[in-house]
Structure 1
Amino acid sequence: MAELVEQVRAFTEWVGAGRKLTQTGRLTLADAKALVPLLGTSDVLEQTIGDHVYRTRSSERLLDLMLVVECAKVAGLVRKTGQRLVQVKKNQALLDDPQKLWLALFTRFDQVGEVFLRPGFGESLLRPEFADGSRAALTSLYNAEGAVDIARLCTTVWNVVSAPYVLDDLTELQLETLRITTDRDTKQVLEALRRLGAVTLRDESAELTDLGRAGMRRLLGMPEAGDPIYQVKITLLEIEGLPVWRRVLVPADIRLDRLHVVIQAAMGWENYHLHYFLDGETHYGEAEPELQYRDERKVRLKDLVKPGGRLEYNYDFGDSWDHEILVEEAKVATADGRYPRCVAGQAACPPEDVGGTGGYARLIQILGEPGHEEHQDIVGWLGLDDPSRFDAARFSLDEANQRLAVQR
């Protein structure tokens, strides 16, 4: 059994009937000190530097232990209720099924968050962007045929986690420090995945284990033969002229955050903007407190929609592109099938930031009128040498599936 899985099991059993928490909802320092040797974490309770002894004064500073605690939480084995930490009885069967427990921990690893990465002074960009950064590392490992240089993984993660920030005003030293701390935390993530049994680390490279590769297939929504899949039709609403739609085969239990990626790739969007799903009553989206959406990572398509049912998807709150997701029928995956897979479609995806359905209609109108005063401006905005190169009716099934393959 993987080291981290065993530690999570032992911690859950230690919680037993419940343990008292501090007023801030943390483990008491006394309990934390007892857990470090019990679980065999690598945390240092006190450190001597010169003549001074530095002692840990808060459990949240024991980052290795915090990883174990958070893993138990995201797996649904324990939860905080009031000022106590208690077991979740309905999920205790996971403790007797190491395979299911491992899968629960692996597929929810991106929900662990920043608890086991260094906070405060010297904090990295990976810490607040943990979900995207950890997923980028795993996807890069999955797409590789063999081992990947850790330096290359660090670059991949840096490119992803730094993208949301404007760093132009930083000094060279500040930028270098951010990069160093982010690389440090990327290696911490790889070490955590090694302890989970998902990654093998050797020399300066990392590689997914067979277990990790199987877990990635589940994480990316790639079903096994015989598993249920949905045939869904994604239609862009309120488009004048030729309707824009895609027909896609997806696993029935695909998470909504993965379905978002599928829609982006199949339609041809570039994932620049925010989005949400709506089932008629509840909004689902990224776990941002300001948005107050239900976390899309914790909801699966089959739990919201059955064959014949519909779901709304909105992309870009400015242009407000509304899509209808119609579950046309339920099927089963075949042994040689690739999922998600686009099987049909019609018309081109509108350009990003064109101004919504009204702006898109106006763009098409101006492109069709070479004498229009804004014609050349629109051609230049699209980055075209020849306006005929933009064909609103064009759809390529091969290109749609190439985009889907890259997004995995």
Structure 2
Amino acid sequence: MRAFTEWVGEGRKLTQTGNLTLSDARALVALLETGDEIDPKIGDRVFRTKSSTELPGLNLIVEWAKAAGLVRVVKGRLLPVKKAAPLLKDSERLWEASFTALGKMSGALFPQSYWYTSLVGEEFTLIWPALLRRLYGGPVPVADLRELAWEIASPYYEMRDPRSQRRMTDQDIDRLLTVLVRLGAVELTEETAALTPVAVNAVRRSLGEAAPGEPIYQIRVTLQESADPVIWRRLLVSPGITLGRLHAILVAAMGWEDCHLHLFTEGGVLYGEPSPEWDLDMVDEKKTSVAKVLAQVGAAMEYEYDLGDSWRHDIVLEEIRTAEEGVRYPVLADGAGACPPEDVGGIGGYEYLRLVLADPGHDEHDGYVHWAGLESAQEFDPARFTVEAARRALASAG
């Protein structure tokens, strides 16, 4: 990208459609060694290249430079961005700008055609951060990354041939991993993918996670009115993360399915996802850090999950610790009590469920066993909780 930006120089004229001219494209394919073939010959037939957009390697670099803010298009000309000039002299900053820019490049990474629509490309704004969060937790099987992308994208579409679409989605994830390997952001084996140290640092900063030596919050999360046992979790989280990120952490740590609305409350102020449908004065949780709400040891807030069943949790800042070298946060430190089933009717409904399941002679016993998806009431254990299983759920959720 440095070589491309230097080639742009004081500016280059583009075609009427806003693309590189074919003469410039020919020169760049050689200069940048993009691997593209101009006017490819298949058998006895030559297929003339009609646009620089038909050269995926070159097009990727051009769009990457635009997304990284190195060049821009003004009145039919490709021009360098003067304020970005220092990046070209600083390899670390240029690398991070290139890595960050990937999230804006769905069109170049997953080009569409009249016969193919990339689900990964269509839903990249959701898939890209989810992939980064999953990779941030440590080495991940490539199969899990493919599955994650499919789980995110597929519910939005009706497909005549899901098997073929799934295969193409897997190929798109493999293509993305290949680009990340070229960038030096991912180390890839036959089965697993892992972020390189420099990429770990970049993702850490993007997530607001604490670096070694920085403050880390120890919080206790307790489900209100739960008893015998009290349902609670102890977590180590970075104070710089947003409340929106904390919501995702809480859902995974507690065991909720994240299929309902939620709110945070502190000092009479509501935090959540603002929407025209809400008749509430609400602060955007994605723009509010945990540190802003929990400023000192002993500070507390309330987290409500499922505004119908109203599962209310007390969140208390127990201690401010120091982030350790080699540890990736958040960390689940301890906890107790199984998460109640979704849609059981709140804490009152949960207590009634427990009562009915414990009484084989109750009129509703068999119905509740079936509703809970159990073979028998003996499978139900309100105290069932293991730190290891909860940690795996937290890691899977990113």
Scaled by the length of structure 1, the TM-score of the pair is 0.67
1:71-94 Cα distance to aligned partner (Å, 9 max, x none): 416xxx8899999999696x8876
Residue 192 (structure 1) aligned to one of 172, 179, 197: 179
1:338-377 to structure 2, matched below 5 A, reads 339-377=329-367
Contact 2:263 2:270 in 1 (8 A): no
Q: State the alpha-carbon separation in 2 of the partners of residues 234 and 7 from structure 1.
A: 52
Whether 1:334 and 2:324 are equivalent positions in the alignment is: yes
Q: Structure 1's 237 and 45: CA in aligned 2 closer, same or farther, altered over 3 A?
A: farther
Alignment partner, residue 159 of structure 1: 147
Whether 1:182 and 2:172 are equivalent positions in the alignment is: no
AA in 1 matched with 2:151: A
Whether 1:102 and 2:102 are equivalent positions in the alignment is: no
1:81-109 Cα distance to aligned partner (Å, 9 max, x none): 999999696x8876665334534554674
Q: Could you say what secondary structure the match of 1:225 adopts?
A: coil
Q: Structure 1's 365 and 80: CA in aligned 2 closer, same or farther, altered over 3 A?
A: farther
AA in 2 matched with 1:248: L
Deviates more, 1:373-382 or 1:203-212: 203-212
**Displacement of 1:127:** 1.7
**Displacement of 1:193:** 0.7
Contact 1:221 1:340 in 2 (8 A): no
**Displacement of 1:199:** 2.7
Structure 2: stretches of 5+ with no match in the other structure: none
Q: Could you say what secondary structure the match of 2:220 adopts?
A: strand
Residue 400 (structure 1) aligned to one of 372, 390, 394: 390
Q: Could you say what secondary structure the match of 1:400 adopts?
A: helix
AA in 2 matched with 1:125: L
Whether 1:245 and 2:226 are equivalent positions in the alignment is: no
Residue 290 (structure 2) aligned to one of 301, 304, 307: 301
Whether 1:56 and 2:44 are equivalent positions in the alignment is: no
Alignment partner, residue 68 of structure 1: 64
AA in 1 matched with 2:124: F
**Displacement of 1:229:** 0.7
**Displacement of 1:396:** 3.8
AA in 2 matched with 1:130: F
CA RMSD of aligned residues (A): 5.4
Alignment partner, residue 127 of structure 1: 121
**Displacement of 1:123:** 1.8
Percent identity, aligned pairs only, is 33
Alignment partner, residue 221 of structure 2: 234
Residue 111 (structure 2) aligned to one of 109, 118, 127: 118
Q: Structure 1's 141 and 309: CA in aligned 2 closer, same or farther, altered over 3 A?
A: closer
AA in 1 matched with 2:50: R
Q: Structure 1's 389 and 294: CA in aligned 2 closer, same or farther, altered over 3 A?
A: same
Larger Rg: 2
**Displacement of 1:268:** 1.8
1:222-265 Cα distance to aligned partner (Å, 9 max, x none): 64431211122334457688653322111222355643442123
Contact 1:253 1:302 in 2 (8 A): yes
Q: Structure 1's 363 and 125: CA in aligned 2 closer, same or farther, altered over 3 A?
A: same
Q: Could you say what secondary structure the match of 2:394 adopts?
A: helix
Contact 1:264 1:271 in 2 (8 A): yes
Q: Structure 1's 310 and 139: CA in aligned 2 closer, same or farther, altered over 3 A?
A: same
Contact 2:223 2:313 in 1 (8 A): yes
Q: State the alpha-carbon separation in 1 of the partners of residues 302 and 101 from structure 2.
A: 25
AA in 1 matched with 2:256: W
Alignment partner, residue 390 of structure 1: 380
1:335-380 Cα distance to aligned partner (Å, 9 max, x none): 4766322334343211134344454344234334433322112123
Q: Structure 1's 178 and 318: CA in aligned 2 closer, same or farther, altered over 3 A?
A: farther
AA in 2 matched with 1:160: L
Q: State the alpha-carbon separation in 2 of the partners of residues 213 and 349 from structure 1.
A: 32
**Displacement of 1:130:** 2.7
Deviates more, 1:214-223 or 1:333-342: 214-223
**Displacement of 1:34:** 5.9
Contact 2:271 2:285 in 1 (8 A): no
Q: Could you say what secondary structure the match of 2:335 adopts?
A: strand
Structure 1: stretches of 5+ with no match in the other structure: none
